[in-house]
Amino acid sequence: MKAAAEPARVESQPAITAEIARIAADYQGKDEPQPLLDYPPYRSSRLRHPKSALVCVDPHEVERWAPCFGSRDVNPVDADLTAGHPGEPIGERIIVTGQVLDATGRPVAGQLVEIWQANAAGRYHHQLDQHPAPIDPNFTGVGRCLTEPDGTYRFLTIKPGPYPWRNHQNAWRPAHIHFSVFGTAFTQRLITQMYFPGDPLFGLDPIYQSIVDPVARQRLIASYDHDVTQPEYATGYRWDIVVAGSRRIWTEQNADDG
């Protein structure tokens, strides 16, 4: 497997941590709210980032609209990752909810949110994940839902465990849930990862640290919310998602598409 063939040289965690610190020092105080695409501590990024700058363009009409999804596309039970198997999954049952908003604060209504994640033991239900942690026969780790009119999404799931990977020696990812989000425009498409508060692995993880602005990267951390928690059933986490720009702004500017 290609994934297992990288990296060519296996660094220690202290060496990776030092690389992370050097880059953080270089970018201190600079406005970099998105991950650096060229981020050597994440070894797999070396050959997978463009070296030329992105070219700035006015979005065309097709880029100012997002695909429409509806009740025909998404079954409400898909938002319950603890269901659909003969038994209950093992682990800490959690509710993850929040709003999808655009940068002006308007809710993104009726849009698709997709998630995937490891099980409570940190094992993905995926053939490429062969590390010796148990598969849970009652947990696949995939869900989707449509946002409510106020932009709210909500999933019932199991808190994922941290998992090891091969970026460097003794590399572990902080526990996370992958999120795929659509805005109201193609330009707002976002795939990211939601993390849990207080994870001891944050400082060691080159994927999380690729967002060099410490304030920006905290936007990926959910908050524990006791109002979301349900008695004797599940603890609750809240995480709002803000997608870039908004179609309304472009429309008001009457953008010239030429």
Partner 1 sequence: MAELACTPGQTVGPYLHLGLPFAGDNQLVGDAHAGAIRLHGTVYDGAGDAVPDALVEISQPGPDGRLVRREGSLQRKEGAFTGWGRCATDAAGHYSFRTLTPGAPAGGAAFFAVVVFARGLLNRLFTRAYLPGSDLDADRLLRALDASRQHTLICSAENGGYRFDLHLQGANETVFLAYRGDAE
Which residue numbers are catalytic?
124, 163, 173, 176, 178
**Considering the complex, what minimum distance in angstroms separates the CB of residue 72 from partner 1?**
5
DSSP secondary structure code for residue 58 in this structure:
P
For residue 180, the cross-strand partners are: 114, 191
Q: Name the nearest CA neighbour of 90 among 130, 129, 141.
A: 141
Q: Which is nearer to partner 1, 74 or 229 (CB)?
A: 74
> At residue 58, what is the residue type?
D
**Considering the complex, what minimum distance in angstroms separates the CB of residue 208 from partner 1?**
8
- Angstrom distances, CA of residue 39 to CA of 16, 85, 119, 163: 11, 40, 28, 21
Q: Which is nearer to partner 1, 12 or 34 (CB)?
A: 34
Are 82 and 141 in contact by the 8 Å Cβ rule? The answer is no
Q: Locate 40 and state its tokens.
A: 């050597």
Q: Which is nearer to partner 1, 3 or 77 (CB)?
A: 3
Residues in contact with 60: Cβ distance below 8 Å, sequence separation at least 6, in sequence order = 257
**Considering the complex, what minimum distance in angstroms separates the CB of residue 234 from partner 1?**
21
For residue 114, the cross-strand partners are: 144, 180
Q: Which is nearer to partner 1, 76 or 258 (CB)?
A: 258
- Angstrom distances, CA of residue 50 to CA of 43, 44, 205: 15, 13, 22
Helix (H) / strand (E) element for 204: namely none
- Kindly provide the residue ranges of all beta strands, DSSP E only, lying in 170-246, ordered along the sequence: 171-173, 176-181, 190-195, 223-224, 235-238, 241-243
Q: Which is nearer to partner 1, 33 or 137 (CB)?
A: 33
Task: For the chain, give the number of residues.
Answer: 258
**Considering the complex, what minimum distance in angstroms separates the CB of residue 230 from partner 1?**
25
Q: Locate 65 and state its tokens.
A: 């609209």
